Amino acid sequence: MKKTVKFLTALCGFLAFSSQASYRSFTESHITYGIFQAKPEEVRLHWRDSEGKNYRSITNLKRALEKNYQVKMIMNGGIYSQNDVPAGLWIEKGKELNPLNTKRGSGNFHVQPNGVFALVGKHPYILTTKAYQQKKLKPTFALQSGPMLVINGKINPQFRPTLESYHKRNAVCLNKQNDLFFILTTSGKPNLYTFSQALQKIGCHNALYLDGTISNWYIPNISSSFHWHYFVGMISVAAVKEKE
């Protein structure tokens, strides 16, 4: 009974958070999840700068954005290949910089179904790769990653509770109201089943895995922009600065 009350209290807190704040945390089975709610119109994807060079780090991207934006969050944006190219679809400002990847292979990206996070104007989508192909969207921004963690409120059936793969992880999710959230494990290392189960409990209706061990983010007063790991694609949440 106490566990039920504790869960309902946490869930109610999450639902209240959806309309009141940008950041909160949720702890389940000794693992803590940072949850950042974003306005879709403030979300952008970044791979290369205007000179065609990879930003490489959160700090570099933060410095570039701060000239014109108030940066609210930056995090790594999905799995990439050995040649420093996103593993799948990557669209920025309506331009496709890397095509959709429907090949079979090894690694988390290829665990089926994988999926696409897309923004069409102010409207966010998280779809399986197959559903994305069928929908024929014209996104402003989009990235492909994998696997899908939660699909229409249900955990990906490929996962098992006994899966022995425990890592730091991050994801993007939408609740039933289509509110947009980015999630990072800030303490503890779940497997994919445990991670998906936690996302389900905090209200994710559809959720897409972004990456594992290297995952990190910058949030002012919450997490520093300095990280050791090299990133390829990144996601920012930032508001345009008002002119003085």
Bigger pLDDT: 98 or 2?
A: 98
State residue 13's pLDDT score. 42
Mean pLDDT confidence for 129-144: 97
End-to-end alpha-carbon separation of the chain, Å?
55
Number of domains in the chain: 1
Domain membership of residue 223 as a residue range = 2-240
CA dihedral 197, 199, 204, 208 (to 10 degrees): -100
| Residue 126 contacts residue 113 (beta carbons within 8 Å) | no
* Mean of all residue pLDDT scores within the chain: 91
Residue 147 clears pLDDT 70, i.e. is over it:
yes
Q: What is the mean pLDDT of residues 6-35?
A: 68
Q: Which of 193, 191, 186, 180 is nearest to 218 (CA)?
A: 186
Element (H, E) at 26: strand 23-28
Q: List pLDDT tens digits, range 44-97.
A: 999 999 999 999 999 999 999 999 999 999 999 999 998 899 999 999 999 999
Q: What is the pTM of this model?
A: 0.91
Among 15-29, 77-91, 121-135, 187-201, whose mean pLDDT is lowest?
15-29
The pLDDT score that the predictor gives to residue 244 is 62
| Residue 74: predicted pLDDT | 98
Tens-place pLDDT, residues 228-241: 889 999 999 999 98
